[in-house]
Amino acid sequence: MAESIALHTKLKPGTEDEYADAHAHIPPELVVALKEAGVKNWRIWRSGLDLFHVVDVENYQAMRHALADHPANVPWQARMAELLAVKDDYSGEDAGIQKVWELP
């Protein structure tokens, strides 16, 4: 059963258009790598500089470990590091944003 993980990242000021453009042109090899790592869906919302992600994935930590040094992910993460205020950590040790409540 897949899990849903919420994430929060923040853009550097002035990079909003570059971030949107990058995500309008996700490299096909990255899409394949994400799917092979168990990602079922990944959605991102933006409010100002704040980015909110919801990732549906088989195993979040396993996905992070699988993509940490993946040749399709490394250049993507380098590009995102230019746009994000804080570098993404692919150690696989994070658990995303803590869920407080869910409609039963």
Q: How far, in whole angstroms, is CA 25 from its chain's centroid? A: 15
User: What is the per-residue pLDDT for 87?
Assistant: 74
Tokens of 63: 């996905």
Give the model's confidence band at 90: pLDDT under 50 very low, under 70 low, under 90 confident, else very high. Answer: low
Residue 91's pLDDT band, with cuts at 50, 70 and 90, is low
pTM: 0.91
Task: List the domains of the chain with CATH numbers.
Answer: 3-83 (3.30.70.100)
CB 36 within 8 A of CB 68: no
Burial class (CB in 10 A: 0-12, 13-18, 19+), 57: buried
Report the half-sphere exposure of 57 (CA within 13 A, side-chain side): 26
**Predicted confidence (pLDDT) per residue in 42-53, tens digit:** 999 999 999 999
Q: Quick check: 92 and 61 in contact, CB under 8 A?
A: yes
Q: What is the pLDDT of residues 20-62, one digit of tens each?
A: 999 999 999 999 999 999 999 999 999 999 999 999 999 999 9
